Structure 1
Amino acid sequence: MALRIPQLDPDPASPFPPAECALQEPDGLLAMGGDLSPARLLNAYRHGIFPWYSRGQPILWWSPDPRMVFRSDGVKLSSRFRRSLKSSAWEVRADTAFAAVVAACAATPRPGQRGTWITDAMQAAYVELHHLGHAHSVEVFSGTRLVGGIYGVAVGRMFFGESMFSGESGGSKLALAALAHRLRGWDWPLIDAQVESPHLLGLGAESWSRRDFIARVATLVSIPQPTGRWTECFGRLPAHALSRAAV
């Protein structure tokens, strides 16, 4: 039987279907079509919805149940990894290489995945959100070389993680830990991690019901926060600081 998926209105300001209307199989598929304009994307995130599709497909919008979520005080780093950070010369920054982080995430092979969902159109859309002050990257540098990073979208006091990569072992873990560390200090309690994976669970992600996730998101996105680059407020965080810090 062919799936009946709601088609979005061409107007970027038009509403999405309620998230509870998403399909159970494939899990969380809610709607199709529309565009990747800033207005549409921000509206999606405010309601716990994100785009995810492959080249050649229409734009597909998702709100899975359950949802993977990190608490900003709940990212877990192994004792061995923390020990390795003590002598690391890596440094973490924010919003100094956004496009490079997105491109590296797109180029990173994923187990069981052919090609990338981070298409050229997706990259351009998030770069535009970054220029508007809504999308951010956290970058791990070894000298001038980018060795890991994560990017996502901030709305209110909610950070919606999109993707991360490691150019060297541990690069993505450090980027995630540094992001959580800073968000905790800013009183931002959650990081959306979208879809369950063993890797995310091993780093401390929790499985939330969609209902609970969307209820919490509704509160957090309604708290006004300034937009703009995080470079200055994030600062430069040496890796060894996270060897002992509570993430």
Structure 2
Amino acid sequence: MELLDKEHSIYLLDQDNFDFPSEEMMKDDLVAVGGDFHPQRIINAYEKGIFPWFIDEYNHIHWYSPNKRMVLYPNEFKVSKSLNRTIKNKNFKIKSNENFEKVIKNCSTIKRKHENETWIDDNFIQAYTNLHKLGFAFSIECYLEDKLVGGLYGLLINNIFCGESMFSKEKDASKVAFYHLCKQAEENNIKLIDCQVYNEHLQSLGAKEIKREKYFKILNNKY
């Protein structure tokens, strides 16, 4: 692992080992570039509070650990009156891990406000599908009349569900999937849902920003 940018502490990852910068080595949100999507490398990254976000034009993976981490405590999920009505009356059916690859492919193609393109390319789809087959990545799926209309996926690391992306083809379908994720998290003693970076939608559901130092303490069972 080579230090590329001393001022910002950005590291070039070695191809032949799976090391990542420690917390003490991190300054900015972007902490490393390079490497590959070997399953062990990705798991090592999440165990160190790092995640891959996108691949640049030089085919380098960019790895992030935000100074301000967006997180949601499962019992703090906000259920609005309209969402509560949807949960009770819409007849959505919720399943887990029955259509993981279809969930991530939908996440890669769904149109989002303020985003012109997605970071979820074929490399990400293959990498996280592999992690699903290995038992590290999971999906929550929302069906209506037996059609997949919403869902989300992520990794479970040290009792933290590291959420990656979600999609919705019916009003509130992704919110319903998120609601059931929180319920499952409470039932299985998952203490935190990592939402990675701030956005207004997540904040409206009860997520909030915490400092990187606090996130690392929770990740390492020290908080």
**Could you tell me which residue of structure 2 aligns to residue 170 of structure 1?**
172
Q: Answer 1 or 2: which has greater strand percent.
A: 2
Aligned counterparts of 1:20 and 1:147: Cα–Cα separation in 2: 42
Map of 1:11 onto structure 2: 16
Per-residue CA deviations over 1:76-119 (Å, capped at 9, x if unaligned) read: 11012102322221111100000000000000122232221001
Deviation of the 1:158 alpha carbon: 1.5
Q: Percent identity?
A: 37
Q: Is the 8 A contact 2:158 2:219 kept in 1?
A: no
Instruction: Give the residue type in structure 2 aligned to 1:71.
Output: Y
1:115-130 mapped onto 2 (5 Å cutoff): 115-130=117-132
What is the deviation of 1:6?
A: 1.2
* Aligned 1:25-44 pairs, distance under 5 A: 28-44=29-45
Partners of 2:91 and 2:65 lie apart in 1 by 39
Query: What pairs with 1:61-210 in structure 2 (closer than 5 Å)?
Result: 61-210=63-212
Provide the rounded CA distance (Å) in 1 between the counterparts of 2:150 and 2:198: 21
Unmatched runs of 5 consecutive residues or more in structure 1: 221-247
TM-score relative to the length of structure 2: 0.91
SS of the residue aligned with 2:142? strand
Cα RMSD after superposing both structures: 1.5
Conserved? CA contact 1:138–1:149, under 8 Å: yes
Aligned residues: 214
CA contact (8 A) 1:22 1:64 kept: no
Which whole-Å deviations, capped at 9, do the CAs of 1:30-88 have from their partners, x for residues lacking one?
A: 00000111100000001110001146341000000110001011111101210232222
CA contact under 8 A between 1:55 and 1:119: conserved in structure 2? Answer: no
Amino acid aligned to 1:48: G
Residue 85 of structure 2 aligns with an amino acid whose one-letter code is: R
Cα distance in 2 between the residues matched to 1:167 and 1:122 = 21
Greater Cα shift, 108-117 or 165-174 = 108-117
Cα deviations by residue, 1:217-240 (Å, 9 ceiling, x for unpaired): 1128xxxxxxxxxxxxxxxxxxxx
1:163-203 deviation line (CA, Å, top 9, x unaligned): 00111110110111101101101111111000000100000
Alignment partners' CA distance in 1, 2:53 and 2:149: 25
- Residue range with higher mean Cα deviation, 30-39 or 76-85: 76-85
SS of alignment partner, residue 31 of structure 2 = strand
Distance in 1, matches of 2:217 and 2:193, equals: 14
Conservation of the 8 A alpha-carbon contact between 1:12 and 1:37: no
Paired with 2:60 and 2:157, the residues of 1 have a C-alpha distance of: 25
In structure 2, distance between residues paired with 1:143 and 1:17: 47
**Alignment partner, residue 232 of structure 1:** none
**Distance change >3 Å, CA 10–CA 61, structure 1 → 2:** same
- Tell me which residue corresponds to 1:45: 46
C-alpha contact (below 8 Å) 1:76/1:202 kept by paired residues: yes
In structure 2, give the amino acid aligned to 1:40.
R
The answer as to whether partners of 1:51 and 1:59 remain within 8 angstroms in 2 is: yes
Distance 1:71 1:60 in 2: 27
Cα pair distance change 1:10/1:199, threshold 3 Å = same
